[in-house]
Each structure stands twice: as structure tokens, then as C-alpha cells.
Amino acid sequence: MKLRSSSIVLMLLFIFQSCSYFPEDFDRDETPSLTETIKYIKIGDQGSKALIFYPGGLVDPFAYVNMLSAVAGDDVVVFIPKVPYNLAILNINHAEEIKKAFPDIKEWSVGGHSLGGAVACFVINDHPSEYENLFLLAAYPSESTDLKSFEGTSIVLFGSNDGVADLEKLINSRDQFNNPVDVEDIDFIEKTASTSFFYQIEGGNHGNFGNYGFQKGDRESTITREEQQSTSILIMSKILAQ
Amino acid sequence: MRFVIAFVVVFACSVNGIAQRLTIDLESFPTLTQDYGKSIIAPYSGIGLTYFYDKYATGLNYRSVPWGSEVSVSQAFNIPFYQSEKIAVGSSSQVYVGVPLYYNKFSTSLGASSRVTLKFEKFQRIFISGGLGYHISPSYRSISSKYQFVEGILAFHIALLK
């Protein structure tokens, strides 16, 4: 009986730990040129530039459509990979698969939120010369990741009220980047080779980089989600346009 | 993955042997879909435990799906077709009810499948199955166009108890 009870508890714990965050409703009619396949979500018709954005761990990829639809523009296409079990770490090569499917796109950038950002760092580690920009939202590289070989622009955005990401590790990860620069004004963020900009969004938290509700362990944001995402959109769009 | 293995082993050990057979099922669900005019196969995978009793089987399964992951409970009816000294062939018709794993939303999914099972007498505790199934998650329809699909099934079963 005792063994049976422990197995049931283990099973329930495992199931609970596997839960994902369901995305909030969004209006497809307001999302320009959204198409999806079994492997990714594509926002934008066509362009010479593209951003591959890995979703956060256990977050449905559609939770990022609202924000990234504002990043997609006339010449920029955004891809959100659909990953097994909603864990980007289970398919690090997904970005390469997408690139192979769209050989006409000339300039690629990669990024991600939280665990997705860590995976984006693995991609840069493996293919440093194939990407122009790296965007990390509430994310930092693992200790074994080498970003010094990356000659593009890195942007690291994080909220001051982030209760999920380890902000101390995030800040200490600056040593893994090329020429880290802390900025307090987003006007100073420009596309600059071999340079990494760190910008803290005052009052922002972890979950407001996506649209999936409040995340367990996070702290309350003192700014609205729209404000946090507007800042992120402004910076990413600016870098992608340059 | 270690957690998965530990869960499976502990759960299996907890069964007291009433079942005629208890199996661990390693499953792959290659899903054929059309994207930009090309046919691609996107495999999903899962692991389960099935409890066989006479011609019936009840299963508990955990698998990846387009909406993340889900657990499901299944009920199957099995019919033996052919048996020789070397091989046994049968069919299995299965229906299941799943719970997509979300923190902030409760929903259900439904599915059905039909399979052929092959058991080689040389391997007493192992058999394989393959077939076709249909799977739908109605609540995901408001989010994605990939909320229902026909899937292939390839499975490898290891009997824990006989």
C-alpha cells in the first residue's frame, strides 16, 4: 500500500511539473500574415530578414504572437518554433531546420524568452557566423556557452521585478558576451558589431514578455504588460531594421 | 528523463500482479501533414503503461502533442487473429480521453486508434504494434489550426508481468 501511494504521488508530481502555460486569446484577424505549420508559427509574408524566437520553457508558442507580430514588418519575418513538450531544449537544431526551409532569407537573427533564450545562445555557440543578432528576453547563456565568437549584436532585456530568472546569474553572464554595455536609455542601443547591450526594464517582470498570464514564482510588475512589450518591440524592431 | 524512468519503474512495481499482463509502451506517432505543398512527417512520442485482462486493456499514457503534452487513459478491445509457433497477430481498437497539461486551463482531448499487434514467440516479453489513430483537442481550436490530426502509430511493448 505504501509503495502504491508513493507511485501515485510521484506520478502526480511529474504530471504537475509538465504543465504548460496556455496562451491568452488573440485575434487572428489582427495578426498580419500569420501562418503555421506543425513545426513553427510564421508571422509575415516574406522578407530578406528573419527572426527565430524560441518560446519560454513550458509556454505555448502562441503566447508570443501578440508581441512578435509587432516586430514582423515589411522586410522582417518572424518564426516561433514549436518544440516538443514545449521545451526548447529538446530541439536545439530547430532554428537550422527553419533556415534550410527558407534559403531566400539573407539575414537571420535568433532569440528567445527564458529557457528559449538559453537555447538561442546554444544556437549562436554552434553557428556564430550565421546570425546577425541575438535577442535574449529574461534569459542568459549556460556557463558552457561561448558567445565571444559571435560578431553580431546581442541584446539582453530583463525586468527589475523578474522573480523567475536568476537576475544575479543573468548579470554575471556579462563576461560571456562580447563587449557588454549596460545602458539606461534605449536610444543608446544600436546595431553594433561584437557588442552586447544589457537593458533593465524598470518595473517589468518575467511573464510579461509573453501573453500567458501570471507565471508561478514571478513577481508583480509595476508597469503594464503593454509597456514592457512596447519597449521590447521598439528595441528589437530598431535593431532588425538597421 | 530520469524522472520519467523513475516514475515508470515505481508505478510498475506497485501493481500487485492481478493483471494477466502489464506492459511498458514506447510509442511514436508520426503525423503526416501538408506544409507549403510538401508532405512532412512530424513525429510525436509517448510512453505508457497498459494493463491487459482477457481481451481488454486499460492504459495510462503520457505523450507530446501539438499543444504541449498530455496524459490520457485508454480502453482497448483486442482480438487475436492468427497464432503459430513463431508468431501471433492480433488487432487492437482503442479509445482514449486525454487531459492536456496546462497550469491555467483545464481541457480534454479525445482519440481513437486501430492497430495490428505482432508478437514473436522467440521474444516472450516483447511485442510491437502499428496502426492509425485520430486525435483532437477542441479547446486548442481557438489558438491553433493544428488541433486535430490523423496519426500513424508505432509502438514497442515490454511486458513487466505475465
Q: How far, in Å, are A206, A242, B100 from residue A19 at the CA level?
A: 18, 39, 8
pLDDT at B6: 47
**Inter-residue contact A71 to A234 (CB < 8 Å):** no
Q: Is the pLDDT of residue B141 over 50?
A: yes
Contact criterion met (CB below 8 Å) for B72 and B94: no
pLDDT at A9 over 80: no
Residue type present at position A95: A
B72 pLDDT exceeds 90? yes
Q: CA-CA distance, A53 to A109, in Å (whole number)?
A: 9
What are the structural domains of chain A? 22-241 (3.40.50.1820)
Residue of B6, B14, B68 with shortest CB distance to A3? B14
Q: Poorest-confidence range of A160-174, A224-238, B45-59?
A: B45-59
Mean confidence (pLDDT) of chain B:
83
Q: Write down the pLDDT at residue B133.
A: 93
Give the nearest chain A residue to B30 (CA atoms).
Answer: A38
pLDDT attached to residue B62: 93
Query: Distances in Å between the alpha carbon of B110 and those of B10, B116, B138?
Result: 27, 21, 9
Is residue B128 within 8 A of residue B142, CB to CB? The reply is no
Cα dihedral sign for A206, A212, A213, A216?
negative
What's residue B33's pLDDT? 65
Query: SS3 letters for chain B?
Result: CHHHHHHHHHHHHHCCCCCCEEEEEEEEEEEEEEECCEEEEEEEEEEEEEEEECCEEEEEEEEEECCEEEEEEEEEEEEEEEECCCEEEEEEEEEEEEEECECCCCCCEEEEEEEEEEEECCCCCEEEEEEEEEEECHHHHHCCCCCEEEEEEEEEEEEEEC
Task: Kindly state whether A144 is in contact with chain B, defined as any CB-CB distance less than 8 angstroms.
Answer: no
Query: Which pLDDT score is estimated for B67?
Result: 93
- C-alpha dihedral, A159 to A163 to A164 to A169, nearest 10°: 70
Is the separation of the CB atoms in A136 and A154 below 8 Å?
A: yes
By residue count, chain A amounts to 242
The arithmetic mean of pLDDT across residues A156-163, rounded, is: 97
Contact A14 B7 (CB under 8 A): yes
How distant is the Cα of A86 from the closest Cα of chain B, in angstroms? 5
* pLDDT bracket for residue B18 (50, 70, 90): very low
Q: 3-class DSSP state for residue A66?
A: helix
Taking residues B95-114, report their average pLDDT.
94
Q: What is the mean pLDDT of residues A60-69?
A: 96
Mean pLDDT of the region B138-158: 91
In A, which residues are within 8 Å of B42 by CB distance?
38-39
**Does B17 have pLDDT greater than 50?**
no
CA distance A87 to A54: 9
Measure B4 CA to nearest chain A CA, in Å: 8
Looking only at the bridges linking them, the beta strands covering A195-201 and A180-183 are parallel
CATH 3.40.50.1480 fits B2-161, yes or no: no
Chain A residue whose CA is closest to B101: A19
Q: Count CB pairs under 8 A between chains A and B.
A: 84
47-66 of A, contacting B, C-beta below 8 A = 58, 60, 62
Cβ B67–A3 below 8 Å, yes or no? no
Average pLDDT over residues A130-134: 97
pLDDT at B81: 87
Shortest Cα distance, chain A CAs vs residue B85, angstroms: 38
Taking the CA of residue B60 and the nearest CA in chain A, the distance in Å comes to 11
Note the pLDDT tens digit of each residue in A106-131: 999 999 999 999 999 999 999 999 99
pTM of the model: 0.89
pLDDT at residue B39, as a whole number:
60
Pairwise CB contact (< 8 Å): B146 & A36: yes
DSSP 8-state code for residue A123: H
DSSP conformational letter for A76 = E
What mean pLDDT, rounded, does chain A reach? 92
**Between these two residues, B118 and B15, which has the higher pLDDT value?**
B118
